[in-house]
Amino acid sequence: MWYLIMFFIGFGFTCVGAVSIIGYLNFLPVGMTVYDFLLFIYKRPECYMLPLGFTIMVIAMYKNPFGS
């Protein structure tokens, strides 16, 4: 049961991070270069939720709750 909850928390973090990055993609058409965009993403804390969520989901998927 805890692994399912952990998976859903990871899924939520992944959604928040992905939506933030997709929203910030709107800065590219107004003249921001790709390098500046990557530096901007690097400084935003909510964008770190995407890899954190993926990590939590992978741990929840591959952890064997029965120990066999």
pLDDT tens, 25-51?
Answer: 999 899 889 999 999 999 999 999 999
Asked whether residue 67 is domain-assigned, the answer is no
Q: What share of the chain is helix, strand, coil (3-state, %, to 5)?
A: 80, 0, 20
**Would you place residue 18 in the very low, low, confident or very high pLDDT band (cuts 50, 70, 90)?**
very high
- Domain span at 12: 2-62
pTM > 0.85: yes or no: no
Number of domains observed in the structure of the chain: 1
Asked whether residue 27 is domain-assigned, the answer is yes
Asked whether residue 28 is domain-assigned, the answer is yes
